[in-house]
Amino acid sequence: MIVKVCGMRDPENIREVAALGVDWIGLIFFAGSPRSIINNEPLPTVNSNRQHPNYQLSIKKVGVFVDATFEELTRTATLFRLDYLQLHGNETPEDCHALQKRGYSLIKAFRIATAEDFKQTAGYEGRVDYFLFDTKSDRYGGSGKPFDWSVLEAYQGKTPFLLSGGIRPESAEAIRSFQHPRFAGIDLNSGFEIEPGLKDVGKLKEFLSGL
């Protein structure tokens, strides 16, 4: 199971979370988010040299975007050496295909409340690597609230997905018992925070030991 911790921006906090053995970290490049790393100093740099004070452990980096231009996406992906682009806006299947043809790995987020909401995923089959299913909300960036996972029985697509939305330390048992043939991982954020953008490493460690 993939474990992604999103909304990271403090370099030392990133190193501590990476050391727990999580698979992906999410860096938010949407100015409307309180966890955005835009204009944040110092930026969480990536350096494979472990003697360098800013080194990071080997971990996949996911850039989170909302309706960014093609140029913004490609420029930021290069600058931060992003492994995945996670798209939360109105990006079309054609937009995703254009990025795919340039060699980018993609995650497309969808806000879910009912079985009807899965219809919107059909056009993205084969255009992205993963879907991310989050709680339906009027705002971008999530509500911090869970949705009814039983509705996922209606998802019959072929694209693997990550679960997001209101996952907290006490969610470990529910995650262990959740089953779906396309379930690939979880996305953790506000339920493990000390404050926006700063994760509680102790809570994360305890949660991961219970999965």
Could you report the per-residue pLDDT of 89-105, keeping only the tens digit for each?
999 999 999 999 999 99
> What is residue 46's predicted lDDT score, i.e. its pLDDT?
44
The arithmetic mean of pLDDT across residues 144-169, rounded, is 93
Percentage of the chain lying above the pLDDT 70 cut: 88
Q: Which domain holds residue 135?
A: 2-209
d(C-alpha 207, C-alpha 211), whole Å: 7
What is the domain count for the chain? 1
Q: Is 183 helix (H, G, I), strand (E, B) or coil?
A: strand
What 63-70 contacts at long range (C-beta under 8 Å, 24+ apart), as own/partner pairs, is 63/26, 63/27, 63/29, 64/6, 64/26, 64/27, 64/28, 64/29, 64/30, 64/33, 64/88, 65/29, 65/30, 65/89, 66/30, 66/32, 66/140, 66/141, 67/91, 68/29, 68/30, 70/95, 70/98, 70/99
Average pLDDT over residues 119-127: 97
CATH number at residue 46: 3.20.20.70
pLDDT at 69: 96
SS3 call for 19: coil
Identity of the amino acid at 22 = V
- Compute the CA torsion angle 27, 13, 198, 42 (nearest 10 deg): -60
On the question of a cis peptide bond just before residue 181, with omega within 30 degrees of 0, the verdict is no
Q: What is the pLDDT of residues 51-81, one digit of tens each?
A: 333 434 578 999 999 999 999 999 999 988 9
